[in-house]
Amino acid sequence: MKIIALQEPITASIDKISSDKSISHRCAIFSLLSDQKSVIKNYLKAEDTLNTLKIIEKLGAIVEYDDDFIAITPPKEIIEPNCVLECGNSGTTMRILMGFLASIDGFFVLSGDKYLNSRPMKRVGAPLSEVGAKIYGRNDGNLAPLCIKGTKLDYFKFDSKIASAQVKTALILAGLNSNGCEISEPELSRDHSEKMLISMGADISINGLNIDVKPISKPLKPLNINVANDPSSAFYFALIAAIIPNSHIILKNVILNKTRTMAYDVLRQMGVYVKFIKKESSYDDIGDIEIKYSQLNGISVSQNTSWLIDEAPALAIAFACANGKSTLRNAAELRVKECDRIAVMVDGLKTCGIDAKEFDDGFEIVGGVPNAAIIEPSGDHRIAMSFAILGLKCGMIIENSECINTSFPSFSQILRDIGVKVED
């Protein structure tokens, strides 16, 4: 992918943003907890989320595909598949399924592509093993392929030392399918799972950072949901308005959950005009986000960083275009995503002539004038898209940019639609 630098500001209202990836994954997996057909409109049809659908089909679900929706009929009982369950590049798929399958009678094998199979899975596997799950894999269970010998677990309590929606969701599913559980976390991580499961009828109570999960006594209600646009995907276009002078962008029909919009709050704190316009509240708050250009100023971010893991690469681009020095700390989770996002972002920014350095748990970036460069995103869709946006200021070549298809296959087309010159 080659990005040509912009000569004019961008003014646009964008509604065809990628559907929310986190919600789409959960819709597919949570549908297995019902005994009735679920209907999901606007399901994200990207490589990662389609792999999740293929897996639930191998577990016995019937998936009907339509242009506007998918319908999922769950099996009466989960099938023990005679093949490997291929997760592709999706860590969310693998980690959430670890919790779900750990509490289902049967033998299951989870694997992925070369990038996913090099990512640490013990962060989910260790908590599950601690409460009785049987999970095995390479590197003492830390690397896929993973083998899971599922069985109903005893009631358990778990005090998580990290704020991770994937860890929390895996434990909730293990408790729901077994004899219940109590979970706590050090700070609130994304809470889509709790909200969706409660809306389906799960007996889950929340008291601050503590979650009490009662076992399922009867199948949950099916999902009937219209998946809104992904705020993490939309953020790349917010970034355009933040770094290209005189730009003005409105993002339509976006999830406004506070655990998903902190990156926009960071832009606001850096000086950009950001307005949330709530339109509805169903399984979550949904509405529009308006962003207008203003000169960015440096900032230090260290709180609620679990809410920023997906947007951190794009925020690094904002830091690179700001006046002064910016830092992100308490974000060691970035080291275990699709790639080591701290190392890859810092190296990429240095290639673009930006002063940047690593910390164990984040990075420091001094704003400057970027130069055109050739970027290798290490198989990480968010790295690729972030440097593509920086290319609007200076031009950029993104090698192996097909990784963007894992979450946002229409990214390049939307850029073209709003006036960006993109060469494949």
113 and 90 in contact (C-beta within 8 Å)?
Answer: no
Nearest to 20 by CA among 52, 56, 45: 45
Annotated binding-site residue? 341: yes
Could you report the per-residue pLDDT of 330-374, keeping only the tens digit for each? 999 899 888 899 999 999 999 999 999 999 999 999 999 999 999
pTM for the model stands at 0.88
Could you report the per-residue pLDDT of 362-372, keeping only the tens digit for each? 999 999 999 99
Annotated binding-site residue? 310: yes
Annotated binding-site residue? 282: no
Annotated binding-site residue? 337: yes
Element (H, E) at 114: none
Write the CA distances from 159 to 99, 120, 259, 263, 300, integer angstroms: 16, 20, 20, 27, 29
Catalytic entry in 48, 230, 285, 310: 310
Write the CA distances from 130 to 119, 122, 145, 174, 188, integer angstroms: 20, 11, 20, 12, 22
pLDDT computed for residue 196 by the predictor: 95
pLDDT computed for residue 407 by the predictor: 86
369: exposed, middle or buried (Cβ count in 10 Å: 0-12, 13-18, 19+): exposed
Residues in Cβ contact with 401 at an 8 Å cutoff, skipping those fewer than 6 apart:
1, 377, 384, 388
The alpha carbon dihedral of 331, 261, 21, 29 has a sign of positive
Which CATH number applies to 2-19+228-423? 3.65.10.10
Domain ranges of the chain: 2-19+228-423, 21-226
Instruction: Give yes or no: 310 in active site.
Output: yes
Of the options 3.40.50.720, 3.40.1130.10, 3.30.870.10, 3.65.10.10, the CATH number for the domain spanning 21-226: 3.65.10.10
* Distance between CA atoms of residues 243 and 265, nearest Å: 15
Could you report the per-residue pLDDT of 78-119, keeping only the tens digit for each? 999 999 999 999 999 999 999 999 999 999 999 999 999 999
Element (H, E) at 328: strand 325-328
Secondary structure E strands in 38-180: 38-41, 62-65, 69-73, 85-86, 106-111, 134-137, 143-150, 156-159
Annotated binding-site residue? 190: no
pLDDT computed for residue 198 by the predictor: 96
Annotated binding-site residue? 122: no
* Distance between CA atoms of residues 165 and 142, nearest Å: 18
Tokens of 286: 């949904």
Full 3-state SS string of 152-184: CCCCEEEECCCCCHHHHHHHHHHHHCCCCEEEE
